[in-house]
Structure 1
Amino acid sequence: MAAKITDICIACGACIDECPVEAIVDDSENPTGAETYYVFADKCVECVGHHSSPACIEACPTEGCIVLGA
């Protein structure tokens, strides 16, 4: 599973700064063309070996914005 950013994202950038494998990109680099942040599922490691829980979820100020199981 990988993290997924939902449509309630406020685009604060906190998740991008915390991702240890640079799996998260902002809207300007979203490969789908959508104007939302995006998590590359093939790069996301759910922070296994890096943190005790997904750093993006911990850093996000909007509860429910980032979920596991993309």
Structure 2
Amino acid sequence: MAVRITDTCISCGACIDECPVEAIVDDSDNPTDAEIYYVYEDKCVECVGHHASPACMVACPTEGCIILVR
């Protein structure tokens, strides 16, 4: 399980700063070449053991930008 960043991302960087496991990279490091931030699903822990909710989702100013993938 992980979170995913959608194309509504405004590249503000709030999620990168909050990720405790450094699973999020900016658009210049996105392996899909999309111009949005990217979450490495194999690294994302949904902040279990770190926070009550995924920290990136809490920090993101764009509603619906970061979604849970199950």
Indicate the TM-score class for this superposition, using the shorter chain for normalisation. Answer: over 0.9
How many residue pairs get aligned? The number is 70
Residue 45 of structure 2 is matched in structure 1 by 45
Give every structure 1 segment of 4 or more consecutive aligned residues whose post-TM-superposition deviation is greater than 6 Å.
none
Q: How does 1:25-64 map to 2 (within 5 A)?
A: 25-64=25-64
Structure 1: 5+ residue stretches without partners: none
What TM-score does the superposition give when structure 2 sets the normalisation length? 0.96
Partners of 2:68 and 2:12 lie apart in 1 by 19
What TM-score does the superposition give when structure 1 sets the normalisation length? 0.96
Identity of aligned residues (%): 79
